[in-house]
Amino acid sequence: MEGEKTKATVRNKEKSKQRFLDAVGELLLAQGFSALKVNDIAATAGLDKKLIYKYFGGKDALIDEYIRSLDFWSNVKKENAPQEIADGGREFSKQMLLKQFDYINTNAEFRKIILWGLTESREPLKRVADEREAIGEELLIHITDPYFGKEAEMYRAVMALLISGNYYLNMYAGVNGKTFCGIDMTTTKGKEQIKKAMAIVVDLLYDHVTG
């Protein structure tokens, strides 16, 4: 195993705990969740694996704490409540999708967690999904549900498709293929096409219920 860190200079339990948590993140990014072995985590942290059992209780407890330490939605929460919504959430929806695209596209850790969440049932992974739902409900209940009225569920379903498509396409890019429906997800052009498409679909939906 490569990637061992220089030895801790000072003895500090909290710092060491953090080094283990960081090591989990580093390995997750570099090799995926199936590569999270106690020996490797300890080597990456530059500490003895015994401490993982001492400080966290075990490998799984450490991994769970790592996932819980992540906070993907805090920035979204801030932007949520305010803003003038005079258009039924049209612009907000579009910007949310575009921002989310960039976030997923540039945040490899987020992508790994989302993928992990499709693979394994684990309480902290469920929490990530639950939080996304809770935050989404804010927008949906207060802004788009009232606006779309009896078409509200249709709007929700389209958003579910766009967001989850967003997730998938960004996870897909570069693993076993580059193009999806001919769109090359590894290029800026391809990414712009997807973003443009999301905005168009939102506009069409709003125009649909307006007209």
Residues that bind DNA (CB under 7 A): 7-8, 10-13, 15-16, 36-40, 46-51, 53-54, 58-59
Residues 6+ apart with CB under 8 A from 84: none
Give 173's DSSP letter: B
Q: Which does 183 bind (CB under 5 to 8 A by kind): a second copy, DNA, none?
A: a second copy
> Pick from 141, 165, 34, 36: which is nearest to 81 by CA?
141
Which H helix or E strand runs over 183?
strand 183-184
d(C-alpha 203, C-alpha 200), whole Å: 5
Identify which of residues 176 and 188 has a Cβ nearer to a second copy in the complex: 176
Type of residue numbered 170 = N
Question: Which of the stretches 12-20, 57-65, 84-92, 126-134 binds a second copy when contact is defined by CB under 8 A?
Answer: 126-134
Judged by CB under 8 A, which of 9, 10, 14, 121 binds a second copy? 121
> Pick from 1, 79, 85: which is nearest to 40 by CA?
1
Q: Which two tokens stand for residue 199?
A: 């905005």
Residues 6+ apart with CB under 8 A from 174: 185, 186
Site for a second copy contains 49 (CB under 8 A): no
Site for a second copy contains 210 (CB under 8 A): no
Site for a second copy contains 74 (CB under 8 A): no
Site for a second copy contains 70 (CB under 8 A): no
User: Interface with a second copy by CB under 8 A: which residues?
Assistant: 32, 34, 115, 117-122, 125-126, 128-130, 133, 136-137, 140, 153-154, 156-169, 171-172, 175-177, 179-183, 193-194, 196-198, 200-201, 204-205, 208
